[in-house]
Structure 1
């Protein structure tokens, strides 16, 4: 019987946390390393794994294997999530909101890493609870897993109104920029002010009075 060949996938890997842990046993303390690894293909698949090992490389390898086993698929529509979602895991709470095209990933910490590896290009994330990396990763992955393909009606109305507002602001900026460009073009076409001539612009009478002889001026 031939062994089953597993299909290999190319995943990007990120180490979320790496710590040294100690276990007290009868013979003394045993030092080990704990690693938390997240794998993703940037196309809607994401997984997380945590493992311990005698050295760092062994812990990372075991955590990556665990992440492959825990791989899930999420729904990404147009580079963003279909609707807003909030998820809590222990003391960590994460809020994710869809964003317009070109916004990018606005999030920090481990939440940003998970969203990038999952392939969500435009999203807004917020950590509302604990800053524990492992708990935030769990909360983010659970939030992504809970996404639904169909957006509820009230959320769809909010998304549509937000899109209209963004498009209106964009059109207003384009209109203002166009008006400024037209004004500058009109100013460039208008002839500039004439430079004052080197000749004196004094009245003709003053010129004549200067040209008169002193005797004529006295007689006047």
Structure 2
């Protein structure tokens, strides 16, 4: 009996350790109403971004009658929908990329060290939880936080690392990097 209790506590502790590695940011909260026979029932919708600041990030949406419950649901949904994004030197993107969702469009650009996160509102939350330190981003079109987040995730899903590109093209990473810097690829292989 005591052994089962310890096992259960150990599982809870493991879950807490796993949850503690994630940083979550509340991006948007909205009061929503459901019209019923007696009037209106108010609830809350929350948009949360979760990341481990090491290249994994996800977003989630939750609705409930109370704000804390909506945030908890959104956080759980975000943890279930994590994506991995390759980062250059653990601080910026590998290349410039565009993303879109509905009327929301975003442009993400890699930046040199010391630039910081130059991005507005919902995109800033994504980059902070992702662990990006230097990036320049611009949103065009819709300023709806849901569309901006989804467009940002669309752009991040298109992000490729040199290792992935080299594997897809059956090249060595060094040959790919040499081409990028203007050195002849045959000279590198020789």
Asked if TM exceeds 0.5, the reply is: yes
1:144 correspondence with 2:162: no
CA RMSD in angstroms, aligned pairs only: 2.7
Q: 1:52 aligns with which of 63, 66, 71?
A: 63
1:40 Cα shift? 1.0
Counterpart CA distance in 2 for 1:58 and 1:160 is: 51
Structure number with higher strand proportion: 2
Q: Deviations over 1:78-109 (max 9, x none)?
A: 21101110011011100001111111111111
Counterpart CA distance in 1 for 2:159 and 2:112 is: 18
Moved more, 54-63 or 20-29: 20-29
Counterpart CA distance in 2 for 1:38 and 1:115 is: 10
Which structure has the larger Rg over C-alpha atoms? 1
Q: Deviations over 1:93-130 (max 9, x none)?
A: 00001111111111111111111110111111001111
Counterpart CA distance in 1 for 2:148 and 2:181 is: 30
* Structure showing greater relative contact order (alpha-carbon pairs closer than 8 Å, 6 or more residues apart): 2
TM value normalised by structure 2: 0.75
Q: Give 2:25's aligned residue.
A: 14
1:28 Cα shift? 3.5
1:36 Cα shift? 0.6
Counterpart CA distance in 1 for 2:181 and 2:128 is: 25
1:41 correspondence with 2:42: no
Q: How do residues 95-174 of structure 1 correspond to structure 2 at under 5 angstroms?
A: 95-150=107-162
TM value normalised by structure 1: 0.65
Q: Deviations over 1:30-57 (max 9, x none)?
A: 2111111111111101110101111111
Q: Give 2:43's aligned residue.
A: 32
- Give structure 2 stretches of 5+ with no counterpart: 1-6, 167-176, 183-190
Moved more, 55-64 or 8-17: 8-17
Q: Give 2:99's aligned residue.
A: 87
- Give structure 1 stretches of 5+ with no counterpart: 162-220
- Rate the CA distance shift 1:119–1:68 in 2: closer, same or farther, 3 A: same
Counting matched residue pairs gives 160
Q: Give 1:191's aligned residue.
A: none
Moved more, 58-67 or 138-147: 138-147
Q: Deviations over 1:125-172 (max 9, x none)?
A: 0011111111101111221122111269xxx89x859xxxxxxxxxxx
